Amino acid sequence: MLFTSYEFLGFCAVLLLLYYIIPKKAQWPLLLVASYAFYFIAGPQFIPFIAATTLTVYLTARVMQSIADKQSAFLKAHKEELSKEEKKIFKDKQKRKKLFWFVLCLLLNLGILATVKYANFFIGNINSALISFGSKSVLSFVNVIVPLGISFYTFQSIGYLIDVYRGTVTAEKNVFKYALFVSFFPQLVQGPIGRYGQMSETLYTPHKFDSKQVGFGLERVLWGYFKKLVIADRLFVAVSTMIGDPSTYNGAYSIVIMLFYTVQLYADFTGGIDITIGLAEAMGIRLSENFDRPYFSKSLKEYWRRWHISMCSWFRDYLFYPVSVSKPMQKLTKFTKKVFGNNVGKRIPVYLSTAIVWFSTGIWHGASWNFIVWGMANFAVLMISEEFEPLYKKFNDRFKFTKSFPYTLFRVVRTFALVCALNLFDCYVSIATTGKIFFSAFGARNYHVLFDGSLLNLGLTSLDYIILLGGVLLMLTVSLLQRKGSVREQIFRLPYPVRFALYYGLFLIIILMGAYGIGYDASQFIYNQF
Amino acid sequence: MKAAAKKWIKFIASAVIVVVTLSLLQMLLMPKYSVDGPVEGAFVAEYYGEVKDHDVIFVGDCEVYENFSPIVLWRDYGINSYIRGSADQYIYQSYYLLEDTLRYETPKVVVFNVQALDPKREAEAKEAYNRMSIDGMKWSPAKIGAINSSMLEDEQFLDYVFPILRYHSRWSELDKTDFEYMFKSEKVSHNGYLMKVGVKPAENVPEGKPLHDYKFTEKARKHLDMMVELCEKNGIKLLLIKAPSLYPYWYPEYDQQVAQYAKEHNLTYINFLDETIQAETGIDYTKDTYDAGLHMNVEGAEKLSEWLGKYLTENMGLTDRRGEAELAACWEDKIAFYEADKKAKYEEYEKNIEAN
């Protein structure tokens, strides 16, 4: 059930109605039933996978919580009798117990993820290696299904597991409540990756019908559909045409591909997240924001603080920090400091941890080398920027114009161009093709295609381009207005007829200009595939 | 209280604006079959404006709506008939159009053109033809059945309920006729008959290529059974015909299946491609077709209708109703429109010949 399908709209409409009709106590159980129904419709064969993750993580968290509770109770009861050393030995023992269960559950769930999502990738690579060593026999590929949203719900579950292990959240006692946290359908397929501590505040509490809140939620849903159907799916037509034929669409077209795909990705992903967050908001549930106007970033580092925030913060909190402070890394720090001196030596382990994070980010996006290279390219740019940071600082301190608007704009445009270039790795599975397409943009002999009407042969008419331009300008305007605070609050203060005209106008634009139905190749949300 | 009333007024006013504007937009965006493009899309809806007291109802595709003239059936035999035809009408659409017709009247005879059983056609079904057969139907269980049985993989039921969702992108191709015919339509058929004039002789009509499988599909057979049952239940005589169109090729294997089916169900089957019947009808493929044997021109259609009128009178127990004053008056207008249309079309045809 795609977010853009009539079935999904009908499903949500019925759910929303029921949600506010039934007794408030039954609201979260209804959401659980709805979430499993959603997942069942997507594919009944996926149910065992999400159920397995839910149960294993729930039980492990309960075991870890029980160990922690017993530890606290024991220490409290024997506060006076035990020496500091004895307490430490006891705590270490309990920690080892917790660690055992934690690692077991982690390996199990990462194992499921690795098997269904990465098994064929590994087999493919092993086969390439075997062939290159002259082997005539290769491994056969396995026929596995990839459950919908597995990357998202596995990461969300692991985040919860780590939080319970660390003791930052208390394990949920009610298995059904926990099951809802894992399966909450609006965020199941493309995030944002939720944190239990934050989500549980509103997910299980009863919600009264609040017309303003429901209205605000639905407004955001509408805005999400606008971005998805009017902009992203319209651009999809041109982008897929160009990507599908690299031998024709190269040179100057490369610039068009990078630009169009970057805008498509933004409209598609932020649109999907708007629908997710808006729908949850209409039900009184607060999900974390996933974007903070990322294309206004002045550097790649800033961009990654503002783009796919839930994923980036997940990798930061659950991978980067643990790896950075791990014993092997501490040993490495000591070693590098000794060999390279304090200044360089302390940076090497940080960069290594960052490299691990970006490698993981890359492979999280997809089981192919183009995503891994994309991750490592991001890492390379970030590392180089970090190395040049003192130089930038000196430059910025010395020249006043670096604080001017044109220079800020230049930095924003530069970052956008960089993101466009990096996004090219998303487009082609073959890294060689990506390289060819990227470098063909320089010194191309076909720049005329940008002006001679060739862009009208990509499946888009001049009217489509006008709609796209209007849509992008509208997104830009809304982003600029967001600097003054919530746009919905600003609209809410307008007289009702103006508000109605705005919302209904947007609705009509979606209905009339949306790239949906027969004649358009409906594309699923790009992040559904991750 | 006052605040609550204000809220309700706002809600109702907004709802009215939404419903009215969406309805108007839908009317604007729907294709105007009756003026531009394929007029065949207008036939189904035209039926509802008729006085519904027909003796004979035809169901089928262009092989009925271009090959038989209800005007001749009335003029020469006093048979009141109507063709519920549409482009590339599939058997399941014929069935539901018949079911829809029975909501208004019960004819004595139903004539069904068996070309609609062609499995090749079913395999190559197109959304555009589904639309032309279904969009014009009034809402009823029959329409729902027609939609459900016709929908292709990429079609959605809701698109039929709210056609604006299907035709939403037509806003970029609207022209003045879309505005002009938003609230009205012009008659394009003569009781479902689409008149064509001109001659293009049938020459070198190719034989059909051998098929892997000649069997009618389960779906087609099921709907044929349903049609037989529906007619039996309503005391209607079902007449199976194969109109004399030379293309798409009517395989002998198809013909055998229909003949066998007719025999098993005690139905009459007339194959107009049969040489004896062809001789009786007097169809001359060098003169009576306007498109090289695919369809009849008006002369061919009139010849066929003459033959069929005689057959229906002699074999199906239909009586001459020309004595019914009210009906006769109604047909007088139809005949006048028919003659005027014929004259206009001939004039245009001759003008075109001269110009070329």
With CA atoms as reference, the chain B residue closest to A6 would be B158
Residues of A with CB under 8 A from a CB of B: 6, 461, 463, 496, 500, 504, 508, 511-514, 516-519
- Pick B10's closest partner by Cβ from A496, A513, A519: A496
B125 shares contact with chain A (CB less than 8 Å): no
For residue A17, the distance in angstroms to the closest alpha carbon of chain B comes to: 17
Cα dihedral sign, A95-A101-A103-A109? negative
B10 shares contact with chain A (CB less than 8 Å): yes
Residue A369, token pair as written in the block? 């080398």
Which chain A residues contact residue B151 at CB under 8 A? Answer: none
Confidence of residue A528 (pLDDT cuts 50, 70, 90): low
Q: What is the pLDDT of residue A208?
A: 94
Angle at B52 between CA B49 and CA B57, to 5 degrees: 105
For residue B199, the distance in angstroms to the closest alpha carbon of chain A comes to: 37
Using the beta-carbon criterion (under 8 Å), do A6 and B156 form an inter-chain contact?
yes
- Pick B168's closest partner by Cβ from A461, A504, A517: A517
The question of ipTM being above 0.85 is answered as no
CATH assignment of the domain containing B144: 3.40.50.1110
Strands (E), A150-192: none
B18 shares contact with chain A (CB less than 8 Å): yes
Per-domain residue ranges for chain A? 6-201, 202-290+430-530, 296-428
Distance, in Å, from the CA atom of B77 to the CA atom of B305, rounded to the nearest integer, reads 10
Separation in Å, CA A226 to CA A97, A240, A522? 51, 20, 14
Using the beta-carbon criterion (under 8 Å), do B127 and A518 form an inter-chain contact?
yes
Q: What is the pLDDT of residue B246?
A: 87
- Domain hosting B263: range is 38-203+213-355
Separation in Å, CA A257 to CA A262, A376, A465, A519? 8, 21, 15, 22
> Across the A/B interface, how many CB contacts are shorter than 8 Å?
39
pLDDT digits (tens, 9 = 90+) for B76-112: 999 999 999 998 999 999 999 999 999 999 999 999 9
Task: Find out whether A376 and A359 touch, Cβ atoms under 8 Å.
Answer: yes
Tell whether the model's pLDDT for residue B36 goes beyond 60.
Answer: no
The full length of chain B comes to: 356
How does the average pLDDT of chain A come out, rounded? Answer: 91
With CA atoms as reference, the chain B residue closest to A508 would be B22
Task: Find out whether B82 and B57 touch, Cβ atoms under 8 Å.
Answer: yes
Backbone angles phi, psi at A364, to 5 degrees: -60, -35
With CA atoms as reference, the chain A residue closest to B128 would be A518
Angle at A127 between CA A124 and CA A130, to 5 degrees: 155
Confidence of residue B211 (pLDDT cuts 50, 70, 90): confident
With CA atoms as reference, the chain A residue closest to B126 would be A518
Task: Find out whether B304 and B296 touch, Cβ atoms under 8 Å.
Answer: yes
Which chain A residues contact residue B18 at CB under 8 A? Answer: 504
The Cβ of residue A264 has, within 10 Å, a number of other Cβ atoms equal to 25
Tell whether the model's pLDDT for residue A522 goes beyond 80.
Answer: no
Tell whether the model's pLDDT for residue B37 goes beyond 90.
Answer: no
For residue B56, the distance in angstroms to the closest alpha carbon of chain A comes to: 37
Confidence of residue B181 (pLDDT cuts 50, 70, 90): confident
Q: What is the pLDDT of residue B35?
A: 59
Backbone angles phi, psi at B193, to 5 degrees: -90, 130
The full length of chain A comes to: 530
- SS3 letters for chain B? CHHHHHHHHHHHHHHHHHHHHHHHHHHHHCCCCCCCCCHHHHHHHHHHHCCCCCCEEEEECHHHHCCCCHHHHHHHHCCCEEEEECCCCCHHHHHHHHHHHCCCCCCCEEEEEHHHHCHHHHHCCCHHHHHHHHCCCCCCHHHHHHHHHHCCCCCCHHHHHCCHHHHHHHHHHCCHHHHHCCCCCCCCCECCECCCCCCCCCCCCCCCCCCCCCCCCHHHHHHHHHHHHHHHHCCCEEEEEECCCCCCCCCHHHHHHHHHHHHHCCCEEEECCCHHHHHHHCCCCCCCECCCCCCECHHHHHHHHHHHHHHHHHHCCCCCCCCCHHHHHHHHHHHHHHHHHHHHHHHHHHHHHHHC
Task: Find out whether B67 and B244 touch, Cβ atoms under 8 Å.
Answer: yes
Mean pLDDT of B208-227: 91
For residue A229, the distance in angstroms to the closest alpha carbon of chain B comes to: 12
Residues 6+ apart with CB under 8 A from A261: A235, A239, A243, A420, A423, A424, A426, A427
Counting residues of chain A whose pLDDT is more than 70, the rounded percentage is 98
Q: What is the pLDDT of residue A175?
A: 96
Q: What's the domain count of chain B?
A: 1
Using the beta-carbon criterion (under 8 Å), do A511 and B156 form an inter-chain contact?
no
Which chain A residues contact residue B22 at CB under 8 A? Answer: 511
Q: What is the pLDDT of residue A79?
A: 80
Q: Domain for residue B148, yes or no?
A: yes
Tell whether the model's pLDDT for residue A337 goes beyond 90.
Answer: no
Tell me the one-letter amino acid at B59.
Answer: V
Q: Domain for residue B18, yes or no?
A: no
Q: Domain for residue B339, yes or no?
A: yes
Beta bridge partners of B240: B112, B269
Q: What is the pLDDT of residue A310?
A: 94
Task: Find out whether A153 and A188 touch, Cβ atoms under 8 Å.
Answer: yes
Q: Domain for residue B208, yes or no?
A: no
Using the beta-carbon criterion (under 8 Å), do A517 and B165 form an inter-chain contact?
yes
- Pick B154's closest partner by Cβ from A496, A512, A518: A518
B6 shares contact with chain A (CB less than 8 Å): no
Q: What residue spans of A346-461 are helical by DSSP H?
A: 347-365, 369-398, 405-427, 431-440
Coil, helix or strand at residue A67 = helix
- Pick A500's closest partner by Cβ from B14, B159, B171: B14
Angle at B15 between CA B11 and CA B19, to 5 degrees: 175
- Pick B169's closest partner by Cβ from A6, A500, A519: A519
Q: What is the pLDDT of residue A84?
A: 84
pLDDT digits (tens, 9 = 90+) for A167-221: 999 999 999 999 999 999 999 888 899 999 999 989 999 999 998 999 999 999 9
Tell whether the model's pLDDT for residue B1 goes beyond 70.
Answer: no
For residue B33, the distance in angstroms to the closest alpha carbon of chain A comes to: 19
Using the beta-carbon criterion (under 8 Å), do B158 and A6 form an inter-chain contact?
yes
Q: Domain for residue B31, yes or no?
A: no
pLDDT digits (tens, 9 = 90+) for A283-294: 999 999 999 999
